[in-house]
Structure 1
């Protein structure tokens, strides 16, 4: 839970600004405290904590700046308080030079860890085979869409897509042939959807699509077009694969991500049971919206 909160905080667009707003007064407090105590308590480790925090949330340039500021502050404090070390200038400046090297090393290391951490988190949200989002990436994007819907009340649609007879491809061509087909499906879907849409591989031969700001007619039109394009490409490769697509159109905010996926998945299974290779949709709405719809239709 803490790791997830840290991840979300570190990738927030406001994180660098907030981190600097917090870091600057803390840094000023450390400098003031060290000046008042005249080096007696030793605040080197506290400077390191500031550099670590700034490096994590703001990146290497800011961490480097705070490393130099820390060294400069300690030099000036030593000179103003007439530290015994100042009596030997060579020792004094070498000592502070070593501190600077240590601070810069910490800034560099935390920037590397930050980069690797972000890369690992990004990779964890994408399917290694197709390069499109996986179940985790899909769930996160769907959460964003649900929140957006609650704010602006625009409908959205989620389509659940299953490859009919995919096992026959695996049996005939092996897993390499099946993998090539999955890549083709992902690339074709991505090329035939809007930039704002999200196509994800949920696992095996099952895919899902998020269509933001999309109502009933537009969702059906988009998914029928996608199914026809996919079938056309697959037929050119002489594969016995077709596509069953269940589309949930949400006029009201659903309970949660799992409900949305289950809703679209159930519609897809209706397609499977009804002969496969077509698009079927259902509307999701609250009881209040459902009661209002006939009245609105009559008013028109």
Structure 2
């Protein structure tokens, strides 16, 4: 089922956009042709709204205005052909200018509406505190990457990060400081991942990063870099926080996102049980988990 946010966020690719433009122009001339063969029996002008709405919603403001202009010229051409003398009268021009104004108003209203809906959709899928993707948005993005990994057969890695001693900060320095710390962690994560990677906050002090097309060796390098940057930030602010990190790489795509996160979470939990402040990596091949040695950093 098509979700509302997918309808709002959808932007056609370059090829799809050209096809959409062709369909829109064809619709304009189809309406004009029907207008011509039906004469004055049917009021066809309202049907021009269909290509105008499609162009505005899926391509943008400029496309919507352009379709309004094309629609108007098409309409005037048909009206001129219907006239006995093949000429346009002042009444036709005034009437058409009113219709164009209405269509342009529709274009601008649709543009504003789409922007407002997109803003609301983004807010609903962002963690309020850290501005990272929330659990819902992360699962949506991860499902897309999982489908692509299954199709093309590339590896997929999930990194689970849990903050050690975060409760101590909340208890001793207050929740406001704790919130600042979480936002700071989120900024470090966002600043040190690739554009193709996707970071999210699952809740509390638990963060997750999805690494598409990334094997275990590359994932380990990324995880260690993140740990070093995070520890340096904690030392700078004198926060007694370290990081337990589980890195699960899938050579064969997992059954679903839940299974992927469960494996990464298990590795992270093993780090917690083994002394915290470590990175533990493993490659999952089918039902087999092949762990690598943990690495740790001291503040």
Matched, 1:52 2:53: yes
Q: Which has the higher helix share?
A: 1
Whether the 8 Å CA contact 2:156–2:253 is kept in 1: the answer is no
With normalisation by structure 1, the TM-score equals 0.85
**CA distance in structure 1 between the partners assigned to 2:63 and 2:217 by the alignment:** 50
List per-residue Cα deviations over 1:107-144 (Å, max 9, x = no partner). Answer: 11112222223333333333332233222332233223
Separation in 1 of the partners of 2:57 and 2:72?
A: 20
Is 1:41 the counterpart of 2:45? The answer is no
Sort the Cα spacing of 1:217 and 1:123 in 2 relative to 1 into closer, same or farther, 3 A.
same
Matches within 5 A, 1:6-17: 7=7, 10-13=10-13, 14-17=15-18
Say if 1:197 and 1:210, in contact at 8 Å, map to a contact too.
yes
Partner of 1:194: 194
Deviation at 1:209, TM superposition (A): 1.3
Tell whether the 8 Å contact from 2:5 to 2:121 is kept in structure 1 after alignment. Answer: no
Residue 119 in 1 paired to residue 130 in 2?
no
Q: Map 1:255-294 onto structure 2 (within 5 A).
A: 255-286=255-286
Deviation of 1:196 after TM superposition, in Å, equals 3.1
Deviations 1:47-75 (A, max 9, x none): 11221111111111121122122222222
**Could you tell me how far apart the structure 2 residues matched to 1:123 and 1:286 are?**
37
* Equivalent pair of 1:159/1:246 in contact (CA under 8 Å): yes
Partner of 2:77: 76
Q: Hey, what's the Cα distance between the residues in 1 that align with 2:8 and 2:112?
A: 18
Aligned residues: 287
Give CA deviations for 1:238-272 in whole Å, capped at 9, x if unaligned.
22211111111111111111211122112212222
Distance 1:100 1:71 in 2: 7
2:109 matched residue in structure 1: 109
Q: Could you say what the CA RMSD is over the residues aligned between the two structures, in angstroms?
A: 2.6
Alignment of 1:1-300 (within 5 A): 1-4=1-4, 7=7, 10-13=10-13, 14-82=15-83, 89-286=89-286
User: In 2, are the aligned partners of 1:9 and 1:15 still within 8 Å (CA)?
Assistant: no
Q: TM-score, normalised by structure 2?
A: 0.85
Query: Distance in 1 between the 2:42 and 2:109 partners?
Result: 26
Q: Could you list the runs of 5+ residues in structure 2 that have no partner in the other structure?
A: 290-299
SS of equivalent to 2:275: coil
| Distance apart, 1:41 and its partner CA | 0.4
